[in-house]
Chains A and B, each alone.
Chain A
Amino acid sequence: MRVEYINPFVEAAYNILREVLSEEVKRGILYLKSSTNPVKGVAAIVGLAGEVEGRVLFDMTKSTALKIASKMNDEDLLDWDDLARATITELANLITAQAVTKLHDLGFRFDLTPPALITGENMEMYDDYKDETETLIVPMETSFGPVEINVAIRERNRN
């Protein structure tokens, strides 16, 4: 993972989460991973394509997702309904978009795909991509529970 890519994601995650939750969030220690990921319960995936390709995965438990969605909508959401799903999708979009904007400013050109949301118990993410690219894990601590942002990106033409 090029070092230039790291900060935009960390900053975007920090800024957006702090803004939408209107509270201080804490960033955990970044680390690299090469194996498959267990998914906590709710995963939003945003694809990147262009000079740089890869994907960004936002991973949290369902209860964290519901609480975040409630906070963002300023009402108590009890069920994992359309509104809750749309809210988490939007959160993923916000963070990735801000990161990509920062990367654009640094001269990296690429586009986003619309986020896809996956939910379920005991899921694991098997990704062919992971075999070729290691993943940067950005753990964020919120008062609603942890949100993990997994960033796997690389240049399209390495040589």
Chain B
Amino acid sequence: MNLFLDALAWLTDPERVTGPNPLAERIGEHLWYTVLALVVSALIAVPLGYLIGHTGKGRQLAVLGSGAARALPSLGLLTIFTLIVGVGNAQVAAIAVFVILGVPSILAGAYAGVEAVDRSVVDAARAMGMTETQILFRVEAPLGLPLLLGGLRSAALQIIATAVLAAYVGLGGLGIYIQRGISLRTYDEMLGGAILIVLLALIVDALFAIAERVARRAIGSAPSRGRPRSERPEPLSTDRQSTLEEIR
């Protein structure tokens, strides 16, 4: 535990404000990469996801994309892109990698959100005379917002994690403390950096969790991960239980 006290001392040292590699600058870099990549990913993935969800065509694309994003090693993409565009342009390479890894989650969220909307609601909207565009933007998009936010949340976490590796292609960010700490054997720096990274990820995760909850409340639905009461395994007498389940 001594090591963690050292890390804490490192984090609170005035050097972190005035010295080289100030915390604020590295945190700023990390957040900047994350926000930029998230926005670019969303601009690509949300329209595509809505299109797939609304038309029901191209679902395989969404599934394939998720599989590919999981299978492709982020460190490999980061290093190969950097080599291809040249170390001087590493920033472009890194953003491209973040976007490649961010798009599938957002696409899946946008698509799943639209697809999860009750078909009878969509039919009702159509019967009321809404055009397809109106159905998408006034019915499907708002009702699918919680799932879209879920997708953005996964993408943001994926990008934050990959941005940690960006230090290895010379891009700074919070990963730089880990990289320096490992090569210089300054364990307080390494642990301090890791703690900051975890905190950043947890805070971003919590913000998205709150946004998801607000969105769910706004459209008036229960959290979809919640467990329907009908599935409680407890023994009512057996026939009563199945009757109750039928009613529900």
Chains A and B come from one and the same complex: no
